[in-house]
Amino acid sequence: MLKRTHYCEEPRETDIGRTVAVSGWVANWRDHGGVVFIDLRDRTGIVQVVFNPEENPEMHTRASKLRSESCISVSGEVSQRPEGMENPDLPTGMVEIVAGELEVHNVSEPPPFDVDNPGDVSLEARLSYRFIDLRRPEISKIFQARHRIFQVFRRFFDENGFLEVETPYLTKSTPEGARDFLVPSRLSPGSFYALPQSPQLFKQTLMVGGIDRYFQIVKCFRDEDVRASRQPEFTQLDLEMSFVDEDDIMEMTERAMAAVFEQVLDREISLPLPTMTFADAFERFGTDAPDLRFGMELKDISAVVADCEFRVFKNAVDEGGCVRGICVPGGAKMTRGEIDGLVEWVKQFNLPGLAWFKLEENGPSGGVAKFFSDAEIGAIRQKFDARTGSLFLFAAARRQKTHLPLAQLRCHAAAKMGMIPEDEFELCWVVDAPAFERVEESGHLTFPHHPFTTPYPEDVGLLEEEPTRARTKSYDLVLNGVELGGGSVRISDPELQMKIFSILGYNQEEVEERFGFLMRALRHGAPPHAGIALGLDRVVGKLLGIEDIRETIAFPKTQRGMCMLTKAPTRVDDQQLKDLGIALRESE
């Protein structure tokens, strides 16, 4: 077998006269007057190989029978391309390899789509032939960048005294906010392992065990609906430190991210990163993951319109709700049809409608402008610091009902107006999330982070009577409107941990059954500790400008949770079920 000496993108003018060997796949095949030219591709790029019939007729004949995506190796002399035949768009565009030997490893069937120009082939079709899709240069570059990002993180944490410790994949089912993937145990019939949603409890246990700086690049699993930013199995960077507070974790994470930006993107980020509270983020942006690349912040005009003539606004304020909205600079040039389109678009977020008006050269116009006095218009304009040519969009409802629709509308309108700079990166921390939130449908308490997050000492007294007002020592890292990950200072006091569990409705017996090993650890000299986890699929996607994280994962699942390559999940045979003590019930 021909042994590769160079990757396809490596031969340069400095190699002219040298004999090299390259391996890869036929990207393109051309016959120019009997001379066969092949563009050979591997994961680094493309090099042109020339087969001359006069020098080796037999090899030329074999080369002339090759077609796209056949796998071959070639050796030959690096030569200067003839004048006028150079390709300045390729790193190897000034040279070619004059073939001396050819080894055909495998002749490909006609590929299901053109690797270099797949057109509008669907993502599911590409995933069914992922081994073809991965050969595409733009896809290959994603995984090369992903590798570099992972290695930067590993080097950084190694250089800062962290130990990489693996935690179990077969573990215990504990409530962490999503459904578990369960694995039946053959040796303990009727019992199940759970695939970890995160290594949270294990890394806390490591801190009690004296592994005071831990990190891991780890697979996690959550049985939830698949979206563009979520997958049932995903990769996260997990870390934990002892004898630290929130500032230490945030500073360490910032420096790690700065290393990635510098070494992968050749860009600098300014440290320390800006910080805003959870409450402030919702007030200004309607979300705890704000996009800071543009302005257009949400404003509350309830006090201005409390006595206005527009009954929808007045009634909302009278009933304890609010009137909030955004001002779109330059939005006055939108047509009535475009504005109606925004009104319809926002209804998908359970907002029945939007009120609007324009601020034009001749004053306010359209929509609900006629219901406001000059003083009210002036106050609204001052609230937004609005200029002539702006469009105002308002929602009137209970405050929580306005968060999601206005947050989404803000980004949607900014995109339509071309206000979002695609090549900018704006990172920030969102801190001090509440210890508990109340589920609107049931009234039950749940947690924005997880039940192992410590509240501020001055807020512990709120836990019994007003638990949703208690703030926690939590911090989420946000990049361009996407939460990359979050962390917190953990509860190291077993009594406080038991109090949190009791507020969630667990009695002593249930706590022992579900979290007994953690409680035992906390009672045996637990140090103060804190940590964070970053979703690396999201990190890769945001740094490379990829919206769908499936593009950043080698073998992702579809929105139905299926692997298109293997067609998993699939049925298993009866003997396997019998060994596990499982019987399937016919679906109705």
Residue where a domain terminates, one of 361, 394, 416:
416
Decide the pairing of beta strands 482-489 and 474-479: antiparallel
Single out the residue of 51, 44, 99 nearest to residue 77, CA to CA.
99
Which has more pLDDT, 23 or 446? Answer: 23
Check pLDDT > 80 for residue 218.
Answer: yes
Residues above pLDDT 70, as percent of the chain: 98
On whether residue 196 sits in a domain, the answer given is: no
pLDDT in tens, 166-194: 999 999 987 656 789 999 999 999 899 99
Over residues 129-155, the mean pLDDT reads 97
On whether residue 60 sits in a domain, the answer given is: yes
With helix as H, strand as E and coil as C, how does 481-493 read? CEEEEEEEEECCC
pTM score of the predicted model: 0.92
The C-alpha atoms of residue 432 and residue 489 are separated, in whole angstroms, by: 11
Find the CATH number of the domain harbouring 302.
3.30.1360.30
Kindly state the tokens that stand for 263.
């070494």
On whether residue 348 sits in a domain, the answer given is: yes
On whether residue 439 sits in a domain, the answer given is: no
Find the CATH number of the domain harbouring 100.
2.40.50.140
pLDDT in tens, 417-430: 999 998 999 999 99
pLDDT at 380: 97
CB burial of 73-110 (b: ≥16 within 10 Å; e: otherwise) equals bbbbebbebeeeeeeeeebbebbbbbbeebeeeeeeee
pLDDT at 435: 93
**Beta carbons within 8 Å of 118's beta carbon, 6+ residues apart:** 126, 133, 136
On whether residue 435 sits in a domain, the answer given is: no
Residues above pLDDT 90, as percent of the chain: 85
Check pLDDT > 60 for residue 588.
Answer: no
On whether residue 440 sits in a domain, the answer given is: no
What value, to the nearest 5°, has the Cα angle with vertex 501 and ends 498 and 503?
A: 110
Residue where a domain terminates, one of 51, 78, 106:
106
On whether residue 277 sits in a domain, the answer given is: no
Question: How sure is the predictor about 439, in pLDDT bands with cuts at 50, 70 and 90?
Answer: confident
Question: What is the total count of domains within the chain?
Answer: 2
On whether residue 485 sits in a domain, the answer given is: no
The C-alpha atoms of residue 463 and residue 459 are separated, in whole angstroms, by: 7
Cis link prior to 457 (omega < 30° from 0)? no
Instruction: Give the number of other CB atoms < 10 A from CB of residue 193.
Output: 18
Q: What is the mean pLDDT of the chain?
A: 94
Residue where a domain terminates, one of 394, 416, 438:
416
Which uninterrupted H or E stretch holds 104? strand 95-106
pLDDT at 559: 85
pLDDT in tens, 445-473: 888 788 999 999 999 999 988 999 999 99
pLDDT in tens, 343-397: 999 999 999 889 999 999 999 999 999 999 999 999 999 999 999 999 999 999 9
Domain of residue 385: give its range.
Answer: 294-416
